[in-house]
Amino acid sequence: MCGIIGYIGERQVLPVLLEGLRRLEYRGYDSAGVVFLEDGKINIIKVKGRVFDLEEKIFSELPKNPKSPGLGHTRWATHGEPSDENAHPHFDCKEMLAVVHNGIIENYYELKKELQERGHKFNSATDTEVIVHLVEDFINQGLDLKIAFFSALKRLKGAYAIGLISKENPEFIMVARNLSPVVIGLGEGENFLASDIPALLPFTKKVLFLNDGEVAILSKDKVEIFDLEGNRVKRDPVIITWDLASAEKGGFPHFLLKEIYEQPEAIKHTLLGRVDLDKRDIDFSKEGLEKEFLEDVEKIFIVACGTSYHAGLVAKYLIENNLKIPVEVDLASEFRYRSPLINSKTLFIAVSQSGETADTLAGLRLAKKMGAKILSICNVLGSTIARESEVVLYTQAGPEISVASTKAFVTQVLIFILFTLYLKKLFYKENEKREKLEALIKLPSVLEKFTKEVHSEVKKIAKKWYNVGNCLYLGRNILYPIALEGALKLKEISYIHAEGYAAGEMKHGPIALIEEDFPTVILAAKETGIIYEKTLSNAEEVKSRRGPIIAFVSENSEEFKKLSDDFVGIPLTFYEFLPIFYVIPLQLFAYEMAVLRGCDVDKPRNLAKSVTVE
Ligand code: AGP
């Protein structure tokens, strides 16, 4: 996610902006910039790189008389690769306005075309730049800054946290929020805005939170809040009691827990611009995934490591169930040293959160050399794997700070769900059932409620088992990769030996492990029909050997309630969504076990966030 800081008041504006940006660095970014007034002009200084590089550039340009209002921005690229030009802030044509933005403007493509047809010249490949040209366009039509700002907001679709300043109106900072957080900091004869509380803490602990669809107008002595219709909104300030460390985690004790709770928002951002409920349409064509690219594909290889590999295994069930195209899923470290059968009719899909994993990159290069079509699913825009792919479908999960991958995994699975439904539309002319698309759109709010509810249940169970030495995870069909992922989460953050296994394999070995102090986590979903029944039999095999069972199973499963030592009910959903629902309690279970064992949850021993070496 991008970071925003804004200031209007009597302080030296640049030190305020730079200190605020430094406090937002933890969010992850690839470029940074500031804008401020100087002798009646707007001055923008921005770089691809770190805040440190920005400071260097500022000192090299030595602005003579920088004044507030000012805005600062750290960019996490979503549209337009990391570069000086794509860094924020962005000017309008006449350099009378400047904007910073966090979020995704879903309809920027159409807006940019419309504005260009009206003569606007764009300098970047970002979605953000349409905002400042839209405001300019309304001002060109004779509206004043405030009305022009409101009018522009009404044309925007998608997620935004916006700060905008005008050289004609230096007494204001215009602010707006929709789906991306904005916090207003209140001072004496000065006011601030930021994406997140840590940026404000050096200056004030008295804050106001904007809600979606609200606008704030900041001047030195007052903050006015309105809804999009211009009606005034009353909002009481709150006093922040967090210290900086907990503020960076949004009040959560660890980034891992924060990122588990961010999964609904990550899903929301990943859906933006790709699902149109009214037209019952899923569309990746704007991202280059055209029918021509896919129509002669006879086989798909999905290649990845770790958690991303598990997302690929889920995709195999989704794609083969719906599209009858054979799918091979490979660990990248194996793929690159075997002789995979690849030709020009092969689609190679690399899955990588970081986009830098050495084995996955090597696999991609091997497949490219053998003539395959190259598609990647990445979370980091402009990463090496993304740059070397013909088509990239970005998970919009925002920076994933914790070493253990959670929201990236969930959005990778979501991309594969959308990919499958999209190909069904392209090649089978099957528009997805409306109720499934409705469920997809509602997923973020359903998961937000589910995460909170299931967390308290899981926390109790973890208290019972956190001293075990081993744990077996069993699942079948589309829940088998989730058993693998649940086991990986537990072993990598709690250091408990955990093994994921296909439940049907019990008789072929693992059943020898079952003892009274060896719990088995079992995943079973009634939506899978006979598969559920078969998994129930496996559970009975475990029980008959006095093995304890921790069941993560459909909430209406009376059989498992009776059979299990601990039971976590999962709401019924569509088959394709099962992996997302079932992985969340397993992530929370691993988290709570690791915390109880006093492990370094965000930076587990021996692990790196991105394995860029073999
Ligand atoms: C996941 O929790 C691990 N941190 C690790 O397995 C990770 O998924 C793997 O290293 C692949 O990383 P990537 O997605 O960045 O390629």
- Going by alpha carbons, the residue nearest to atom 6 of ligand 1 is 306
For residue 79, the model assigns a pLDDT of 79
Does residue 608 sit within a domain? no
Distance from Cα 465 to the centre of ligand 1, integer Å: 26
Q: What is the pLDDT of residue 428?
A: 84
User: Which residue type, as a one-letter code, is found at position 286?
Assistant: K
pLDDT of 613 over the 80 cut: no
Per-residue pLDDT, averaged over 310-336, amounts to: 96
Task: Please answer whether residues 314 and 329 qualify as being in contact, where contact means their C-beta atoms are separated by less than 8 angstroms.
Answer: no
Contact 404 CB / ligand 1 (< 6 Å):
yes
Provide the 3-class DSSP secondary structure of residue 193.
Answer: strand
Q: How far is CA 84 from CA 107, 123, 484, in A?
A: 24, 11, 41
What one-character-per-residue DSSP string does 36-95 give? EEETTEEEEEEEES-HHHHHHHHHHH--SSEEEEEEEEEE--SSS-SSTTTSSPEE-TTS
Mean of the per-residue pLDDT values of the chain:
94
Evaluate: CB of 306 within 6 angstroms of ligand 1. yes
Nearest-angstrom CA–CA distance, 66 and 11 = 10
Residue 474 — pLDDT band, cuts 50, 70, 90? very high
Q: Examine the domain organization and report whether 204 and 268 are in the same domain.
A: no
Rounded average pLDDT over 557-566 = 97
Band of the pLDDT at 74, cuts 50, 70, 90?
Answer: very high
Whole-number percent of the chain with pLDDT over 90: 85
353 lines ligand 1 (CB under 6 A): yes
Catalytic residue among 424, 425, 436, 609: 609
Residue 206, pLDDT above cutoff 80: yes
Q: Is the C-beta atom of 71 inside 6 A of ligand 1?
A: no
In a domain, 462, yes or no: yes
**CB neighbour list of residue 86: distance below 8 Å, 6 or more residues apart:** 31, 48, 75, 77, 80, 124, 125, 126
Helix, strand or coil, per DSSP, at residue 192: strand
Six-digit token string for 304: 């990845």
Check whether 347 has a pLDDT greater than 80: yes
On whether both 164 and 77 belong to a single domain, the answer is yes
Q: What confidence score (pLDDT) does residue 169 get?
A: 97
**Residues 195 and 229 grouped into a single domain:** yes
Catalytic annotation, pick one of 2, 378, 471, 599: 2
pLDDT at 610: 81
pLDDT for position 361 = 94
- Cα separation of 155 and 115, whole Å? 12
pTM: 0.82
Task: Indicate whether residue 360 lines ligand 1 (CB < 6 A).
Answer: yes
Report yes or no: 367 and 374 within 8 Å, Cβ to Cβ.
yes
pLDDT of residue 124: 94
Cβ neighbors of 67 (< 8 A, separation 6 or more) are: 13, 36, 37, 38, 170
Mutational test site, ligand 1, from 254, 303, 354, max ligand atoms within 8 Å of CB: 354
Please tell me the residue having the least CA distance from ligand 1 atom 16.
352
Which pLDDT score is estimated for 197? 87
Residue 490 Cα to ligand 1 midpoint, Å, equals 14
Cis peptide before 571 (omega within 30 of 0): no
**Ligand 1 mutation pick, 611, 612, 613, 614, max ligand atoms within 8 A of CB:** 611
- If you take atom 9 of ligand 1, which residue's CA is the nearest one? 306
Q: What is the pLDDT of residue 1?
A: 72
Calculate mean pLDDT across residues 577-581.
98
- Looking at the predicted structure, is the pLDDT value of residue 404 above 80? yes
Q: Does 349 reside within a domain? A: yes
Residues 388 and 345 in one domain: yes
Q: Which atom of ligand 1 is nearest to the CA of 607?
A: 4
Give the separation between CA 4 and CA 74, rounded to whole angstroms.
Answer: 7
**pLDDT tens-place string over residues 262-312:** 999 999 999 998 998 888 789 998 899 999 999 999 999 999 999 999 999
Q: What is the mean pLDDT of residues 148-155?
A: 98
Distances (CA, A) of 186 to 74, 246, 304, 559: 22, 21, 47, 57
Whether the predicted pLDDT of 185 surpasses 80: yes
Asked if the model's pLDDT at residue 55 lies above 90, the reply is yes
Structure confidence by residue, pLDDT tens digits, 242-267: 777 777 788 899 999 999 999 999 99
**308 CB less than 6 Å from ligand 1?**
yes
Asked whether residue 310 falls in the same domain as residue 398, the answer is yes
pLDDT (mean) for 43-69:
95
Ligand 1 contact via 362 beta carbon (within 6 Å): no
Domain boundary (378, 412, 432) is at: 432
Domain boundary among 218, 247, 276: 247
Does residue 405's CB lie within 6 angstroms of at least one atom of ligand 1? yes
Buried (b) or exposed (e) across 125-142, using 16+ Cβ within 10 A? Answer: ebbbbbbbbbbbbbbbee
Is residue 422, in this structure, part of any structural domain at all?
yes
Q: Does residue 607 lie in a domain region? A: no
**Does one domain contain both 519 and 413?**
no
CATH number for the domain harbouring residue 37:
3.60.20.10
Are residues 61 and 19 in contact, defined by beta-carbon separation less than 8 angstroms?
A: no
Domain count, the chain: 3
Is residue 378 among the annotated active site residues?
Answer: no
Please name which of 592, 602, 575, 603 lies closest in space to residue 413, comparing C-alpha atoms.
Answer: 575
* Domain end call among 369, 401, 432: 432
- The answer to whether residues 159 and 24 belong to one domain is yes
* pLDDT at residue 148 greater than cutoff 90: yes
The answer to whether 609 is a known catalytic residue is yes
425 three-state secondary structure: helix
Whether residue 612 is contained in a domain is answered as: no
| 609 Cα nearest atom in ligand 1 | 4
Tokens of 409: 């995994």
In the reported structure, the alpha carbon of residue 531 is separated from the centroid of ligand 1 by a whole-number distance in angstroms of 29
Measure 256 CA to ligand 1 centroid, in angstroms: 14
Residue 403 CB–ligand 1 contact under 6 Å: yes
Using 50, 70 and 90 to split pLDDT, how confident is the model at 27?
confident
- The b/e string for 504-530 (b: 16+ C-beta within 10 A; e otherwise) is bebeeebbebbeeebbbbbbbbbbbee
State whether 396 and 447 are in the same domain. Answer: no
- Cis peptide upstream of residue 89 (ω within 30 degrees of 0): yes
Pocket test for ligand 1, best of 308, 333, 613 (most atoms within 8 A of CB): 308
Average pLDDT over residues 544-573: 97
Whether 351 is covered by a domain: the verdict is: yes
Q: What is the mean pLDDT of residues 376-394?
A: 92
Per the document, the length of the chain is 614
One domain for residues 321 and 409: yes
- Regarding whether 148 and 80 lie in a shared domain, the answer is yes
Task: Tell me the pairing of strands 90-91 and 97-105.
Answer: antiparallel
Distance CA 317, CA 110 (A): 36
Tell me the pairing of strands 173-178 and 214-218.
antiparallel
CA distance 7 to 51: 17
Q: Is the pLDDT of residue 382 over 80?
A: no
Cα–Cα dist 143/569, whole Å: 56
Nearest to 385 by CA among 410, 354, 412, 343: 354
Q: Which atom of ligand 1 is least distant from the CA of 608?
A: 4
Report which of 324, 323, 326 is spatially closest to residue 423, judged by C-alpha positions: 323
- The token pair that represents 297 in the structure block: 């594909």
Secondary structure in 3-state letters for 287-342: HCCCHHHHCCCCEEEEEECHHHHHHHHHHHHHHHHHHCCCEEEEEHHHHCCCCCCC
Res. 160 pLDDT band, cuts 50 70 90 = very high
Q: Is the CB of 169 under 6 A from ligand 1?
A: no
Decide: 223 and 216 in contact? Cβ < 8 Å: yes
Same domain, 304 and 161: no
Q: Is 402 in the pocket of ligand 1 (CB under 6 A)?
A: no
Identify whether 610 is part of a domain: no
Look-up of token digits 């933890």? 26
In 108-169 the beta strands, taken as DSSP E runs, fall at 158-166
Specify the pLDDT at position 25. 86
Same-domain pairing of 306 and 351: yes
Residue predicted with more confidence, 107 or 278: 107
- CATH number of the structural domain spanning residue 460: 3.40.50.10490
Domain that residue 506 falls in: 443-596
Given this model, what pLDDT does residue 279 score? Answer: 80
